[in-house]
Amino acid sequence: MTKFSFSRSDFPQDFIWGAATSSYQIEGHAFGGAGPTHWDTFAATPGNVVRAENGDTACDHYHRYEQDLDLIKDAGLDAYRFSTSWARVMPDGKAVNPDGLDFYDRLTDAMLERGLKPCATLYHWELPAALAVQGGWQNRDVAKWFGEFTHTIMGKIGDRMHSVAPINEPWCVGWLSHFLGHHAPGLRDIRATAHAMHHVMLAHGTAIGVMRDLGLKNLGGVFNMEWATPADDSPEAARAAELYDGYYNHFFLSGVFKGRYPDTVMEGLGPHMPQGWQDDFNVIQAPLDWVGVNYYTRKLIAPNTDPWPSHEEVEGPLPKTDMAWEIYPQGLYEFLKRTADTYTGTLPLYVTENGMAHACPAEDVDQPRIDYLQAHIAMARKAMDDGVPLKGYMIWSLLDNYEWALGYEKRFGLVHVDFDTLKRTPKASYQALAAALKR
Protein backbone atom coordinates (compact mmCIF):
# COMPACT_ATOMS: atom_id res chain seq x y z
CA MET A 1 0.00 0.00 0.00
CA THR A 2 1.65 3.24 -1.08
CA LYS A 3 -1.53 5.07 -0.19
CA PHE A 4 -3.48 5.34 3.01
CA SER A 5 -6.69 3.35 2.97
CA PHE A 6 -8.51 6.05 4.95
CA SER A 7 -9.58 9.44 3.72
CA ARG A 8 -10.76 12.62 5.41
CA SER A 9 -14.37 11.70 4.70
CA ASP A 10 -14.08 8.62 6.97
CA PHE A 11 -13.87 11.02 9.92
CA PRO A 12 -16.25 13.73 11.16
CA GLN A 13 -16.00 17.02 9.27
CA ASP A 14 -14.59 18.87 12.27
CA PHE A 15 -11.97 16.20 13.05
CA ILE A 16 -8.61 17.97 13.29
CA TRP A 17 -5.59 16.58 11.46
CA GLY A 18 -2.27 18.03 12.50
CA ALA A 19 1.48 17.71 12.62
CA ALA A 20 3.54 18.21 15.76
CA THR A 21 7.04 19.52 16.42
CA SER A 22 8.87 21.12 19.32
CA SER A 23 10.99 24.23 19.61
CA TYR A 24 14.39 22.87 20.64
CA GLN A 25 14.10 19.98 18.19
CA ILE A 26 13.65 22.18 15.11
CA GLU A 27 14.13 25.92 15.64
CA GLY A 28 17.89 26.36 15.94
CA HIS A 29 18.50 27.47 19.51
CA ALA A 30 21.60 29.50 18.62
CA PHE A 31 19.44 32.04 16.77
CA GLY A 32 17.41 34.97 18.04
CA GLY A 33 18.94 35.56 21.46
CA ALA A 34 17.74 32.39 23.18
CA GLY A 35 19.50 31.60 26.45
CA PRO A 36 21.28 28.36 27.37
CA THR A 37 19.07 25.47 28.45
CA HIS A 38 19.74 22.33 30.45
CA TRP A 39 19.72 20.47 27.12
CA ASP A 40 22.71 22.53 25.96
CA THR A 41 24.71 21.68 29.07
CA PHE A 42 23.53 18.04 29.03
CA ALA A 43 24.59 17.67 25.38
CA ALA A 44 27.93 19.34 26.09
CA THR A 45 28.72 16.68 28.69
CA PRO A 46 30.44 13.70 27.03
CA GLY A 47 28.45 10.49 26.85
CA ASN A 48 24.96 11.96 27.15
CA VAL A 49 24.02 12.55 23.51
CA VAL A 50 25.08 10.73 20.35
CA ARG A 51 28.07 12.62 18.93
CA ALA A 52 27.33 15.34 21.55
CA GLU A 53 24.87 16.87 19.08
CA ASN A 54 22.73 19.77 20.24
CA GLY A 55 19.91 21.98 19.02
CA ASP A 56 22.04 24.96 17.94
CA THR A 57 20.95 24.76 14.31
CA ALA A 58 18.50 21.85 14.25
CA CYS A 59 16.25 22.40 11.20
CA ASP A 60 16.71 26.19 11.27
CA HIS A 61 12.95 26.53 11.53
CA TYR A 62 13.66 29.91 13.15
CA HIS A 63 14.50 31.30 9.70
CA ARG A 64 12.55 28.82 7.55
CA TYR A 65 9.21 28.68 9.36
CA GLU A 66 7.25 30.10 6.43
CA GLN A 67 8.42 27.25 4.20
CA ASP A 68 7.61 24.74 6.95
CA LEU A 69 4.12 26.14 7.45
CA ASP A 70 3.57 25.90 3.68
CA LEU A 71 4.46 22.22 3.93
CA ILE A 72 1.86 21.73 6.66
CA LYS A 73 -0.79 23.51 4.65
CA ASP A 74 0.06 21.69 1.43
CA ALA A 75 -0.25 18.34 3.20
CA GLY A 76 -3.90 19.24 3.79
CA LEU A 77 -3.41 19.40 7.56
CA ASP A 78 -5.64 21.63 9.68
CA ALA A 79 -3.45 22.31 12.69
CA TYR A 80 0.13 22.83 13.76
CA ARG A 81 1.10 21.62 17.22
CA PHE A 82 4.22 23.62 18.08
CA SER A 83 5.94 24.52 21.32
CA THR A 84 7.33 27.72 22.78
CA SER A 85 10.85 27.77 24.15
CA TRP A 86 11.07 29.16 27.67
CA ALA A 87 14.76 30.01 27.17
CA ARG A 88 14.03 31.83 23.90
CA VAL A 89 11.39 33.99 25.56
CA MET A 90 13.25 34.37 28.88
CA PRO A 91 16.93 33.57 28.28
CA ASP A 92 17.82 33.64 31.99
CA GLY A 93 14.43 32.28 33.01
CA LYS A 94 13.23 35.72 34.14
CA ALA A 95 13.97 38.72 31.87
CA VAL A 96 12.11 38.88 28.56
CA ASN A 97 13.85 38.66 25.18
CA PRO A 98 11.67 40.75 22.82
CA ASP A 99 13.04 38.88 19.78
CA GLY A 100 11.85 35.63 21.26
CA LEU A 101 8.34 36.95 21.79
CA ASP A 102 8.35 38.44 18.29
CA PHE A 103 9.30 35.10 16.77
CA TYR A 104 6.24 33.36 18.25
CA ASP A 105 4.10 36.34 17.31
CA ARG A 106 5.19 36.09 13.66
CA LEU A 107 4.88 32.31 13.70
CA THR A 108 1.31 32.57 15.00
CA ASP A 109 0.27 35.09 12.38
CA ALA A 110 1.89 33.00 9.67
CA MET A 111 -0.17 30.00 10.77
CA LEU A 112 -3.37 32.01 10.73
CA GLU A 113 -2.57 33.45 7.28
CA ARG A 114 -2.45 29.85 6.03
CA GLY A 115 -5.65 28.85 7.77
CA LEU A 116 -3.79 26.59 10.24
CA LYS A 117 -4.98 26.24 13.82
CA PRO A 118 -2.18 27.14 16.28
CA CYS A 119 -2.00 24.47 18.98
CA ALA A 120 0.66 25.50 21.48
CA THR A 121 2.56 23.54 24.07
CA LEU A 122 4.28 25.88 26.51
CA TYR A 123 7.13 23.60 27.56
CA HIS A 124 8.78 20.86 25.58
CA TRP A 125 11.84 20.38 27.76
CA GLU A 126 14.21 23.34 27.26
CA LEU A 127 14.48 24.58 30.82
CA PRO A 128 16.63 27.75 31.03
CA ALA A 129 20.03 26.78 32.45
CA ALA A 130 19.76 29.60 35.00
CA LEU A 131 16.74 27.83 36.51
CA ALA A 132 18.32 24.40 36.22
CA VAL A 133 21.17 25.46 38.53
CA GLN A 134 18.56 26.49 41.08
CA GLY A 135 17.32 22.91 41.15
CA GLY A 136 15.04 23.07 38.11
CA TRP A 137 12.11 20.70 38.44
CA GLN A 138 13.25 19.68 41.91
CA ASN A 139 12.63 23.19 43.22
CA ARG A 140 9.03 23.93 44.17
CA ASP A 141 9.50 27.48 42.87
CA VAL A 142 9.59 26.06 39.34
CA ALA A 143 5.78 26.20 39.35
CA LYS A 144 5.88 29.93 40.09
CA TRP A 145 8.59 30.55 37.49
CA PHE A 146 6.61 28.56 34.95
CA GLY A 147 3.54 30.61 35.76
CA GLU A 148 5.50 33.78 34.98
CA PHE A 149 6.68 32.35 31.66
CA THR A 150 3.11 31.28 30.86
CA HIS A 151 1.86 34.78 31.56
CA THR A 152 4.55 36.35 29.38
CA ILE A 153 4.20 34.13 26.32
CA MET A 154 0.42 33.73 26.41
CA GLY A 155 0.01 37.43 27.18
CA LYS A 156 1.57 37.94 23.75
CA ILE A 157 0.07 35.16 21.56
CA GLY A 158 -2.69 33.62 23.69
CA ASP A 159 -5.41 35.62 21.96
CA ARG A 160 -4.76 33.70 18.72
CA MET A 161 -4.29 30.14 20.00
CA HIS A 162 -6.71 27.40 19.03
CA SER A 163 -5.58 25.34 22.02
CA VAL A 164 -2.83 25.36 24.64
CA ALA A 165 -1.31 22.68 26.87
CA PRO A 166 1.29 23.53 29.52
CA ILE A 167 3.78 20.66 29.49
CA ASN A 168 4.60 18.00 26.94
CA GLU A 169 4.87 14.51 28.43
CA PRO A 170 5.23 15.06 32.20
CA TRP A 171 6.58 11.49 32.53
CA CYS A 172 9.64 12.48 30.50
CA VAL A 173 10.19 15.61 32.59
CA GLY A 174 9.89 13.61 35.81
CA TRP A 175 10.90 9.98 35.42
CA LEU A 176 12.94 9.82 32.22
CA SER A 177 15.06 12.81 33.23
CA HIS A 178 15.45 12.26 36.99
CA PHE A 179 15.15 8.49 37.53
CA LEU A 180 16.46 6.94 34.32
CA GLY A 181 18.78 9.86 33.56
CA HIS A 182 18.29 9.57 29.80
CA HIS A 183 17.24 13.20 29.35
CA ALA A 184 18.46 16.48 30.83
CA PRO A 185 19.34 16.98 33.64
CA GLY A 186 20.43 13.32 33.51
CA LEU A 187 19.82 12.47 37.16
CA ARG A 188 19.31 8.99 38.57
CA ASP A 189 17.92 9.79 41.97
CA ILE A 190 14.64 8.67 43.49
CA ARG A 191 14.22 11.77 45.66
CA ALA A 192 14.83 14.10 42.72
CA THR A 193 12.29 12.02 40.78
CA ALA A 194 9.59 12.29 43.44
CA HIS A 195 10.06 16.05 43.59
CA ALA A 196 10.11 16.50 39.81
CA MET A 197 7.07 14.23 39.25
CA HIS A 198 5.05 16.33 41.68
CA HIS A 199 6.37 19.76 40.69
CA VAL A 200 5.66 19.12 37.03
CA MET A 201 2.04 18.57 38.01
CA LEU A 202 2.04 21.68 40.17
CA ALA A 203 3.49 23.69 37.29
CA HIS A 204 0.86 22.25 34.94
CA GLY A 205 -1.99 23.34 37.23
CA THR A 206 -0.39 26.72 37.89
CA ALA A 207 -0.11 27.43 34.16
CA ILE A 208 -3.73 26.44 33.57
CA GLY A 209 -4.75 28.89 36.30
CA VAL A 210 -2.66 31.69 34.78
CA MET A 211 -4.17 31.10 31.35
CA ARG A 212 -7.73 31.02 32.71
CA ASP A 213 -7.02 34.38 34.35
CA LEU A 214 -5.81 35.68 30.98
CA GLY A 215 -9.15 34.58 29.51
CA LEU A 216 -7.78 31.77 27.34
CA LYS A 217 -10.03 28.90 26.32
CA ASN A 218 -9.52 25.33 25.10
CA LEU A 219 -6.80 24.40 27.58
CA GLY A 220 -5.61 20.82 27.93
CA GLY A 221 -2.89 18.48 29.10
CA VAL A 222 -0.65 16.25 26.97
CA PHE A 223 0.41 12.92 28.47
CA ASN A 224 2.58 10.23 26.93
CA MET A 225 1.50 6.65 27.45
CA GLU A 226 3.24 3.34 26.97
CA TRP A 227 1.28 0.10 27.21
CA ALA A 228 2.80 -2.23 29.81
CA THR A 229 2.60 -5.97 29.08
CA PRO A 230 3.78 -8.52 31.67
CA ALA A 231 6.78 -10.41 30.25
CA ASP A 232 5.27 -13.77 31.28
CA ASP A 233 2.21 -15.26 32.99
CA SER A 234 3.54 -15.04 36.54
CA PRO A 235 1.84 -12.90 39.22
CA GLU A 236 5.22 -11.22 39.75
CA ALA A 237 5.37 -10.07 36.12
CA ALA A 238 1.74 -8.88 36.35
CA ARG A 239 2.65 -6.79 39.42
CA ALA A 240 5.74 -5.41 37.70
CA ALA A 241 3.70 -4.31 34.68
CA GLU A 242 1.04 -2.79 36.93
CA LEU A 243 3.64 -0.66 38.68
CA TYR A 244 5.14 0.47 35.36
CA ASP A 245 1.65 1.37 34.20
CA GLY A 246 1.20 3.27 37.46
CA TYR A 247 4.18 5.61 37.29
CA TYR A 248 4.14 5.94 33.52
CA ASN A 249 0.47 6.24 32.66
CA HIS A 250 -1.79 6.63 35.70
CA PHE A 251 0.27 8.99 37.87
CA PHE A 252 -0.46 12.18 35.94
CA LEU A 253 -4.07 11.51 34.87
CA SER A 254 -4.89 10.36 38.37
CA GLY A 255 -3.34 13.53 39.81
CA VAL A 256 -5.34 15.78 37.51
CA PHE A 257 -8.65 13.92 37.45
CA LYS A 258 -8.78 12.12 40.79
CA GLY A 259 -6.66 14.31 43.03
CA ARG A 260 -4.33 11.50 44.14
CA TYR A 261 -1.39 9.45 42.96
CA PRO A 262 -1.56 5.64 42.57
CA ASP A 263 -0.82 3.66 45.78
CA THR A 264 1.59 1.36 43.91
CA VAL A 265 3.70 4.37 42.95
CA MET A 266 3.56 6.01 46.36
CA GLU A 267 4.98 2.82 47.89
CA GLY A 268 8.27 3.83 46.29
CA LEU A 269 8.04 7.60 45.89
CA GLY A 270 6.06 8.34 49.08
CA PRO A 271 9.05 8.69 51.45
CA HIS A 272 10.74 11.06 49.01
CA MET A 273 7.87 13.41 48.20
CA PRO A 274 8.25 17.13 48.86
CA GLN A 275 6.72 18.47 52.05
CA GLY A 276 3.04 19.33 51.84
CA TRP A 277 2.48 17.68 48.47
CA GLN A 278 -0.96 16.42 49.53
CA ASP A 279 -2.19 20.02 49.73
CA ASP A 280 -1.44 20.86 46.09
CA PHE A 281 -4.25 19.01 44.35
CA ASN A 282 -6.51 22.04 44.33
CA VAL A 283 -3.99 23.55 41.88
CA ILE A 284 -3.19 20.33 40.02
CA GLN A 285 -6.88 19.57 39.47
CA ALA A 286 -7.57 22.80 37.55
CA PRO A 287 -10.33 21.75 35.12
CA LEU A 288 -9.24 20.96 31.57
CA ASP A 289 -11.10 21.27 28.27
CA TRP A 290 -9.38 18.35 26.55
CA VAL A 291 -6.67 15.74 26.97
CA GLY A 292 -3.95 14.75 24.51
CA VAL A 293 -2.46 11.26 24.30
CA ASN A 294 1.03 10.77 22.87
CA TYR A 295 1.45 7.13 21.92
CA TYR A 296 4.22 5.16 20.24
CA THR A 297 4.75 1.68 21.69
CA ARG A 298 4.38 -0.89 24.45
CA LYS A 299 6.96 -2.41 26.77
CA LEU A 300 7.34 -5.95 28.13
CA ILE A 301 8.04 -5.76 31.86
CA ALA A 302 9.71 -8.40 34.03
CA PRO A 303 10.44 -8.38 37.78
CA ASN A 304 14.03 -8.24 39.00
CA THR A 305 15.84 -8.07 42.33
CA ASP A 306 16.84 -4.40 42.16
CA PRO A 307 15.47 -1.95 44.73
CA TRP A 308 12.01 -0.49 43.98
CA PRO A 309 10.54 -0.50 41.35
CA SER A 310 12.29 -3.89 41.02
CA HIS A 311 11.62 -4.47 37.37
CA GLU A 312 13.13 -4.13 33.92
CA GLU A 313 12.13 -3.97 30.28
CA VAL A 314 12.77 -7.07 28.18
CA GLU A 315 12.88 -7.28 24.42
CA GLY A 316 9.54 -8.09 22.79
CA PRO A 317 8.83 -10.17 19.67
CA LEU A 318 6.99 -7.60 17.53
CA PRO A 319 8.47 -5.68 14.55
CA LYS A 320 10.30 -2.55 15.70
CA THR A 321 10.93 1.01 14.57
CA ASP A 322 14.41 2.55 14.38
CA MET A 323 13.97 3.46 18.06
CA ALA A 324 13.80 -0.32 18.74
CA TRP A 325 10.23 0.31 19.87
CA GLU A 326 7.74 -2.48 19.15
CA ILE A 327 4.90 -1.57 16.81
CA TYR A 328 1.73 -2.17 18.79
CA PRO A 329 -1.23 -0.18 17.40
CA GLN A 330 -3.69 -1.93 19.72
CA GLY A 331 -2.14 0.04 22.58
CA LEU A 332 -3.47 3.29 21.14
CA TYR A 333 -7.00 1.91 21.14
CA GLU A 334 -6.61 0.64 24.71
CA PHE A 335 -5.34 3.99 25.96
CA LEU A 336 -8.01 6.08 24.26
CA LYS A 337 -10.71 3.80 25.62
CA ARG A 338 -9.23 3.59 29.11
CA THR A 339 -8.56 7.32 29.36
CA ALA A 340 -12.14 8.15 28.48
CA ASP A 341 -13.64 5.37 30.63
CA THR A 342 -11.47 5.96 33.71
CA TYR A 343 -10.63 9.64 33.72
CA THR A 344 -12.04 12.01 31.14
CA GLY A 345 -15.57 10.82 30.28
CA THR A 346 -17.04 13.06 27.60
CA LEU A 347 -14.07 15.47 27.50
CA PRO A 348 -12.58 15.69 23.99
CA LEU A 349 -9.47 13.58 23.46
CA TYR A 350 -6.76 14.12 20.87
CA VAL A 351 -3.91 11.97 19.72
CA THR A 352 -1.31 14.70 20.08
CA GLU A 353 1.66 12.58 18.93
CA ASN A 354 2.03 9.35 17.02
CA GLY A 355 4.62 8.36 14.45
CA MET A 356 7.71 6.30 13.81
CA ALA A 357 11.46 6.72 13.44
CA HIS A 358 12.42 5.21 10.12
CA ALA A 359 15.33 6.03 7.85
CA CYS A 360 13.80 5.49 4.43
CA PRO A 361 16.22 4.51 1.64
CA ALA A 362 14.91 7.34 -0.55
CA GLU A 363 12.30 9.99 0.12
CA ASP A 364 9.84 8.42 -2.31
CA VAL A 365 10.04 5.07 -0.51
CA ASP A 366 8.61 5.35 2.99
CA GLN A 367 6.33 2.34 3.24
CA PRO A 368 6.91 1.41 6.89
CA ARG A 369 5.83 4.88 8.04
CA ILE A 370 2.69 4.71 5.92
CA ASP A 371 1.88 1.28 7.37
CA TYR A 372 2.58 2.44 10.93
CA LEU A 373 0.37 5.50 10.63
CA GLN A 374 -2.36 3.57 8.83
CA ALA A 375 -2.52 0.94 11.57
CA HIS A 376 -2.69 3.55 14.35
CA ILE A 377 -5.24 5.73 12.58
CA ALA A 378 -7.40 2.62 12.18
CA MET A 379 -7.22 2.12 15.95
CA ALA A 380 -8.16 5.74 16.52
CA ARG A 381 -11.19 5.24 14.27
CA LYS A 382 -12.13 2.04 16.12
CA ALA A 383 -11.99 3.90 19.44
CA MET A 384 -14.34 6.53 18.03
CA ASP A 385 -16.70 3.81 16.81
CA ASP A 386 -16.70 2.50 20.38
CA GLY A 387 -17.77 5.86 21.77
CA VAL A 388 -14.47 7.62 22.56
CA PRO A 389 -14.84 11.38 21.92
CA LEU A 390 -11.66 11.61 19.86
CA LYS A 391 -11.53 14.95 18.04
CA GLY A 392 -8.17 14.97 16.28
CA TYR A 393 -4.94 13.20 15.42
CA MET A 394 -1.47 14.75 15.10
CA ILE A 395 1.54 13.13 13.55
CA TRP A 396 4.99 13.24 15.10
CA SER A 397 6.61 14.80 13.25
CA LEU A 398 6.50 17.27 10.42
CA LEU A 399 10.29 17.25 9.94
CA ASP A 400 13.19 14.95 10.71
CA ASN A 401 14.65 16.61 13.79
CA TYR A 402 16.79 16.47 16.92
CA GLU A 403 15.78 13.30 18.71
CA TRP A 404 17.27 14.36 22.04
CA ALA A 405 19.89 11.94 23.41
CA LEU A 406 19.87 10.16 20.04
CA GLY A 407 20.92 13.27 18.16
CA TYR A 408 19.90 13.63 14.52
CA GLU A 409 19.95 9.92 13.77
CA LYS A 410 16.30 9.00 14.18
CA ARG A 411 14.07 10.23 11.41
CA PHE A 412 10.48 10.83 12.52
CA GLY A 413 9.58 13.33 9.77
CA LEU A 414 6.98 13.27 7.04
CA VAL A 415 9.53 15.56 5.43
CA HIS A 416 13.18 14.60 5.06
CA VAL A 417 15.73 17.15 6.26
CA ASP A 418 19.28 17.11 4.94
CA PHE A 419 21.16 18.30 8.03
CA ASP A 420 24.06 19.63 5.93
CA THR A 421 22.04 21.76 3.51
CA LEU A 422 18.80 21.94 5.56
CA LYS A 423 16.88 21.17 2.38
CA ARG A 424 13.40 19.80 3.01
CA THR A 425 12.07 16.98 0.82
CA PRO A 426 8.59 15.55 1.39
CA LYS A 427 8.61 11.77 1.76
CA ALA A 428 6.19 9.24 0.28
CA SER A 429 4.28 9.30 3.59
CA TYR A 430 3.77 13.06 3.21
CA GLN A 431 2.42 12.59 -0.34
CA ALA A 432 0.14 9.76 0.78
CA LEU A 433 -1.18 11.91 3.62
CA ALA A 434 -1.85 14.83 1.30
CA ALA A 435 -3.85 12.50 -0.97
CA ALA A 436 -5.85 11.08 1.96
CA LEU A 437 -6.67 14.49 3.42
CA LYS A 438 -7.59 16.20 0.15
CA ARG A 439 -11.00 17.84 0.41
Residues catalogued as catalytic? 169, 353
Comparing CB distances to ligand IFM, the nearer of 60 and 403 is 403
Which residues in the 86-115 window bind ligand IFM by CB under 6 A? none
Residue from 326, 353, 371, 400 in contact with ligand IFM (CB under 6 A): 353
Q: HEC states along the chain? A: CCCCCCCHHHCCCCCEEEEECCHHHHCCCCCCCCCCEHHHHHHCCCCCCHHHCCCCCCCCHHHHHHHHHHHHHHCCCCEEEEECCHHHHCCCCCCCCHHHHHHHHHHHHHHHHCCCEEEEEEECCCCEHHHHCCCHHHCCCHHHHHHHHHHHHHHHHHHHCCEEEEEECHHHHHHHHHCCCCCCCCCCCHHHHHHHHHHHHHHHHHHHHHHHHCCCCCEEEEEEEEEEEECCCCHHHHHHHHHHHHHHHHHHHHHHHHCCCCHHHHHHHHHHCCCCHHHHHHHHCCCCCEEEEEEEEEEEEEECCCCCCCEEEECCCCCECCCCCECCCHHHHHHHHHHHHHHHCCCCEEEEECCCCCCCCECCECHHHHHHHHHHHHHHHHHHHCCCCEEEEEEECCECCCCHHHCCCCCCCCEEECCCCCCEEECHHHHHHHHHHCC
Comparing CB distances to ligand IFM, the nearer of 173 and 210 is 173
Q: Minimum distance between the CB of residue 83 and ligand IFM, rounded to whole angstroms?
A: 9
Comparing CB distances to ligand IFM, the nearer of 303 and 316 is 316
Which residues in the 355-374 window bind ligand IFM by CB under 6 A? none
User: Which x/- pattern, by CB under 6 A, does the window 404-423 give for ligand IFM?
Assistant: --------x-----------
Comparing CB distances to ligand IFM, the nearer of 78 and 169 is 169
Comparing CB distances to ligand IFM, the nearer of 240 and 377 is 377
Task: Confirm or reject binding of residue 42 to ligand IFM (CB under 6 A).
Answer: no
Q: Minimum distance between the CB of residue 282 and ligand IFM, rounded to whole angstroms?
A: 29
Task: Confirm or reject binding of residue 352 to ligand IFM (CB under 6 A).
Answer: no
Task: Confirm or reject binding of residue 22 to ligand IFM (CB under 6 A).
Answer: yes
Q: Minimum distance between the CB of residue 383 and ligand IFM, rounded to whole angstroms?
A: 20
Residue from 27, 60, 400, 403 in contact with ligand IFM (CB under 6 A): 403
Beta-carbon count within 10 A of 103 CB? 24
Comparing CB distances to ligand IFM, the nearer of 293 and 336 is 293
Q: Minimum distance between the CB of residue 270 and ligand IFM, rounded to whole angstroms?
A: 28
Residue from 335, 396, 408, 430 in contact with ligand IFM (CB under 6 A): 396
Residue from 60, 78, 126, 169 in contact with ligand IFM (CB under 6 A): 169
Q: Minimum distance between the CB of residue 102 and ligand IFM, rounded to whole angstroms?
A: 25
Q: Minimum distance between the CB of residue 123 and ligand IFM, rounded to whole angstroms?
A: 11
Residue count, binding to ligand IFM (CB under 6 A): 8
Task: Confirm or reject binding of residue 294 to ligand IFM (CB under 6 A).
Answer: yes
Binding site for ligand IFM (CB under 6 A): 22, 25, 169, 294, 353, 396, 403, 412
